[in-house]
Structure 1
Amino acid sequence: MHDENATPAPEESTDESTGGHSRRTVLRTAGIAGAGLGLGAFATGTAHADTPAGAPAASAGTAGTAEAPARKGKTMIGVPFEARSTVRVGIIGLGNRGGSMIDLFLALPGVRVVALCDPVKDKTAAAAKKVVAAGQPAPATYTNGDHDYEKLCERGDVDFVYVATPWDLHFDMAKSAMLNGKHVGVECPIAMRLDELWALVDLSERTRRHCLQLENCCYGKNEMRVLRMAHAGKFGDLLHAAGAYNHDLRGLMFDPKYYEGPWRRLWHTRLRGDLYPNHGFGPTANYMDVNRGDRVTHISSFGTPALGLAEYRKAHMPPGDPSWKETYIESDRTISLVQTAKGRVIRLEHDVSTPHPYSRINSLGGTKGVFEDYPERIYIEPDHTDDRWGDFGKYAAEFDHWLWKEHANPPGGHGGMDYIMVFRLMQCMRLGLVPDFDVYDAATWTAPVPLSHASIKAQGAPQAIPDFTRGLWKKARPGMDSEKPKQS
């Protein structure tokens, strides 16, 4: 079992599970294997002979535009939260991620944690002690099986539900929250199927509740500085960007004390594409104002053989370990090219199965120059000449986002961007502001999960990315590059 006080590795992703859901995860994922990935009309043709269980039919290429279903409610673009003096939060999932993020919710004024849910009672009890130690009333707890989260969502004293559970549970939990009148924020990815992404968009519009992909990397200090520089024209006309999740997770995926149960590793037996595009896609989409004046139209993906996890297992796992029954098909490295309506290109990468230093790449280029991260470096005209990289730090004073100027040394993990994200979200809820991103961003940033798999199966044939905004992407509007509110 997870240590309930464990915290993620310094650069670990934001998807940590509640171990108590692991048995249900295995069972439900097996159900997904029988149902396909919900590509529906967005993937045509027949599956290859070697298509694994759970894979969508491979497309022969979708050169056209994916047709959007009719809107079932009014758009959620530009819809503010209802202002409130106190935000009452319910948390579902108290493993590594949820068990550490609760500290950030408790650190904020005007926020109360009123309800907790995890089938592992020890985790829930430990989290409840944190709430009381912070001077708040003891929270209600829900530990009675896999569906007790529904009772948390039904409570009348919860304004916002935070979901930090295994991936295949995200859709059901977000759906339950919205159907019960709650705004909901979900760790990455928000769902695993294209039909589920459309369902969340429709449900958000119908219930008038925000459904948010809590992409912490959008709030990274470098990412926010690059965003503001891009909007100020420092890179000229934008041309290309790149983002990634390249992180050696082999040891963690085979460690039952970290990912309780094999839920994350099992996704490597079912999909070949980019399982975790959000950390790279979210920031780069923001740079290019995707859904705010531009939109992504197609994705073409390519994948290497799946060798890394099997080699690691051979070297480290004893005979008879349950992992020996698994056959891995997830490409050790996926590379995707995403086209936008304005002709720009975004490159996405995913690799958690081979040895390499951590990198999200985080690059942006335009007609005046380029920024590249890991390590950070910049070259833009007329500031830099002679083919020599310049100092990115010299732009901090002018272009650092007000959130980072106001919170120079934020607490929490991932260099403080977790705290910045939670602070800003709770600020928007308290003051009745429009959130920095919305359900359309959530669906867009996650769409590469099923679509990259379909493209790889079709030998890189482009897959149409749906326009989840149903045409409203053409209108420029605010996003992450927010103005500091006059109220605190």
Structure 2
Amino acid sequence: MNNSRRDFLKKASILSSVAITLPSLQNEAFAAPNFNMSGFAAPKIDKVKVAIIGLGMRGPGAVDRISYIEGAEIVALCDKHADRVTKAQTILTKKGLKEAKAYSGEDGWKTMLKNEELDLVYICTPWEYHAPMAIAAMKAGAHAATEVPIGLTISEIWEVVKTSEATKKHCMMLENCCYDFFEMLTLNMTRQGMFGELVHAEGAYIHDLLDLNFNKKGYDNMWRLRENIKMNGNLYPTHGIGPVAQCMNINYGDKMNHLVAMQSNDFMMADRAKELAAQDDFYKEFVGKRYRGNMDTTLIKTEKGKTIMIQHDVTSPRPYSRIHLLSGTKGFAQKYPKEGIAFGHSFVKPEELKALYEKYTPELVKFIGEQAKQVGGHGGMDFMMDWRMIDCLRNGLPLDQSVYDGASWSAIVPLSVDSVAKNSRTVEIPDFTRGNWKTNKPHDMTLNGGGNTKIRAKVESKDVQLNVG
């Protein structure tokens, strides 16, 4: 046998062995799902027993909002810090509601899941706990709702998807921006064909959080600042991708195929750490770290050849923007810096925009929008999201966002980190629907037989913390 043939057979043997034994994330894509959660309607729950984990930045607001929904009862509250649980209890008692069961400590949430019979676990903890807590909640027999993102690694995101399918429990990522008023308007207009076929979309999270991320009284144990050291990519893509992905029917007739991410260097966080450390020894541990860059721009290509741009910048001194841009064959919409819709070279006039709002505002917004503004939460979108989720659970309706949506939108976090590390090389995006995107139908954003969930009278509570998100 000559040397070239011997080398060829040796290499073929090695490749064959690797192909058989090497576990691959791609294998997930070919495994049939246990159950397709898209369009799944869980059995009706007359009164939804809710537990809320995490009572720092986002949790108290959730306690306040859900306490207004008559079809929901907050039966358990949990936080690592017992004083936060005690403070959150006052949100309930000041409204004449009974205290929830209190849990605290590092493993308080595990004890809670073991002891309580729950219908919904609402997770408002630091990012790293979202996937483990959601998985444990579903295995304990409850539906899960988690703040963004749904997970930080591809493997744990897959585990969330598979657990949801296996248990037939919803896992909804709480992407509140999908419920903002202009986003809902443009979603309905898109589905009515007003923009023709969408070709390109843009979204973002551009929010100057430099001071908050370095604030000792902000995020517990400076966890969000630590994430900006640990990961160099688009850390918060879902506010931007969520609304435009729904408009482009991602996971419902199209899917995201691959992305590339390019990121600037850090020009501010390392310097801020040095400035603060010169005045306060507390900040010395944050000096000399390699921080995430100021601006990350992630470009995505879909199966149908459409493009999406998602940006992330939480350090530069810029006005807040989520961009929310839709470009189609017949029209165009953009939210920032000013809401506008165009069907040619110029934006429609204010009176025409008002007429479009009157004609295309979705049924859901017309039904609950004004009440949502009264209760609050980022102008009402938080409450509209919470009310809608509870109403769907009570009436046995599919949720507006499936586990596949939370999974694919969240996957941009680790995939953008991977692309940036590879000098902006292309990275494949897993198909969490495992082929079902071809036949999945977009969620019905009408009330669809729901709408019977009442709202308690508004009562002001000064104990609710305002928060970012």
In the superposition, the TM-score normalised over structure 2's length comes to 0.86
Instruction: Provide the C-alpha distance between the structure 2 equivalents of 1:167 and 1:157, rounded to a whole number of angstroms.
Output: 25
Match of 1:328 in 2: 290
User: Structure 1 residue 418 and structure 2 residue 382: aligned?
Assistant: yes
Residues 254-304 of structure 1: per-residue CA shift (max 9 Å, x gap):
111121211100111121110011100111100101111111110110000
Of 439, 443, 449, 1:479 maps to 443
Residues 364-420 of structure 1: per-residue CA shift (max 9 Å, x gap):
000112111113343433xx55x3554333311011122221234322221100000
Shift of the alpha carbon at 1:91? Answer: 0.6
Of 359, 370, 386, 2:332 maps to 370
Gap runs ≥5 in structure 1: 1-39, 43-64
Closer, same or farther: CA 66–229 of 1 in aligned 2, 3 Å: farther
Residues 408-462 of structure 1: per-residue CA shift (max 9 Å, x gap):
4322221100000000000001111111111111100100100001111112111
Shift of the alpha carbon at 1:114? Answer: 0.3
Counterpart residue identity of residue 430, structure 2: P
Shift of the alpha carbon at 1:335? Answer: 0.1
Of 227, 230, 241, 2:187 maps to 227
Shift of the alpha carbon at 1:198? Answer: 0.4
Counterpart residue identity of residue 451, structure 1: L
Shift of the alpha carbon at 1:185? Answer: 0.2
RMSD of the alignment, in Å? Answer: 1.8
Residues 185-240 of structure 1: per-residue CA shift (max 9 Å, x gap):
00011111000000101111111111110100000101000000011111111100
Of 146, 158, 174, 2:118 maps to 158
Instruction: Provide the C-alpha distance between the structure 1 equivalents of 2:445 and 2:276, rounded to a whole number of angstroms.
Output: 46
Instruction: Provide the C-alpha distance between the structure 2 equivalents of 1:231 and 1:241, rounded to a whole number of angstroms.
Output: 15
Does structure 2 conserve the Cα–Cα contact (< 8 Å) formed by 1:250 and 1:352?
yes
Does structure 1 conserve the Cα–Cα contact (< 8 Å) formed by 2:198 and 2:248?
yes
Of all paired residues, the percent bearing the same amino acid is 36
Residues 321-378 of structure 1: per-residue CA shift (max 9 Å, x gap):
3433331331210000111111110100000011111000000000112111113343
Matches within 5 A, 1:76-155: 76-143=37-104, 145-155=105-115
Shift of the alpha carbon at 1:132? Answer: 2.7
Counterpart residue identity of residue 294, structure 1: D
Instruction: Provide the C-alpha distance between the structure 2 equivalents of 1:120 and 1:443, rounded to a whole number of angstroms.
Output: 29
User: Structure 1 residue 352 and structure 2 residue 314: aligned?
Assistant: yes
Matches within 5 A, 1:162-241: 162-241=122-201
Count the aligned residue pairs: 423
Match of 1:70 in 2: 31
Specify the SS of the correspondent of 1:114: strand
User: Structure 1 residue 286 and structure 2 residue 246: aligned?
Assistant: yes
Larger Rg: 2
Specify the SS of the correspondent of 1:91: strand
Does structure 1 conserve the Cα–Cα contact (< 8 Å) formed by 2:391 and 2:451?
no
User: Structure 1 residue 449 and structure 2 residue 410: aligned?
Assistant: no
Instruction: Provide the C-alpha distance between the structure 1 equivalents of 2:290 and 2:30, rounded to a whole number of angstroms.
Output: 35
Instruction: Provide the C-alpha distance between the structure 2 equivalents of 1:408 and 1:75, rounded to a whole number of angstroms.
Output: 31
Closer, same or farther: CA 204–148 of 1 in aligned 2, 3 Å: same
Closer, same or farther: CA 345–72 of 1 in aligned 2, 3 Å: closer
Instruction: Provide the C-alpha distance between the structure 1 equivalents of 2:228 and 2:89, rounded to a whole number of angstroms.
Output: 34
Q: Which stretch of the first structure deviates more once superposed, 229-238 or 150-159? A: 150-159
Does structure 2 conserve the Cα–Cα contact (< 8 Å) formed by 1:66 and 1:466?
no
Shift of the alpha carbon at 1:478? Answer: 3.0
Closer, same or farther: CA 148–388 of 1 in aligned 2, 3 Å: closer
Residues 3-27 of structure 1: per-residue CA shift (max 9 Å, x gap):
xxxxxxxxxxxxxxxxxxxxxxxxx
Instruction: Provide the C-alpha distance between the structure 1 equivalents of 2:27 and 2:243, rounded to a whole number of angstroms.
Output: 24
Q: Which stretch of the first structure deviates more once superposed, 275-284 or 129-138? A: 129-138
Residues 144-199 of structure 1: per-residue CA shift (max 9 Å, x gap):
x2111012222443100000000111111111101101100000111110000001
Instruction: Provide the C-alpha distance between the structure 2 equivalents of 1:321 and 1:449, rounded to a whole number of angstroms.
Output: 32
Shift of the alpha carbon at 1:481? Answer: 2.9
Closer, same or farther: CA 114–67 of 1 in aligned 2, 3 Å: closer
Instruction: Provide the C-alpha distance between the structure 2 equivalents of 1:345 and 1:276, rounded to a whole number of angstroms.
Output: 19
Instruction: Provide the C-alpha distance between the structure 2 equivalents of 1:226 and 1:66, rounded to a whole number of angstroms.
Output: 37
Instruction: Provide the C-alpha distance between the structure 2 equivalents of 1:388 and 1:396, rounded to a whole number of angstroms.
Output: 14
Closer, same or farther: CA 190–323 of 1 in aligned 2, 3 Å: farther
Of 419, 423, 443, 1:459 maps to 423
Does structure 2 conserve the Cα–Cα contact (< 8 Å) formed by 1:66 and 1:464?
no
Residues 37-96 of structure 1: per-residue CA shift (max 9 Å, x gap):
xxx745xxxxxxxxxxxxxxxxxxxxxx88615236222122112212211100101112
Instruction: Provide the C-alpha distance between the structure 2 equivalents of 1:476 and 1:440, rounded to a whole number of angstroms.
Output: 11
Closer, same or farther: CA 190–259 of 1 in aligned 2, 3 Å: same
Shift of the alpha carbon at 1:126? Answer: 1.5
User: Structure 1 residue 427 and structure 2 residue 391: aligned?
Assistant: yes
Counterpart residue identity of residue 424, structure 1: R
Does structure 2 conserve the Cα–Cα contact (< 8 Å) formed by 1:179 and 1:207?
yes
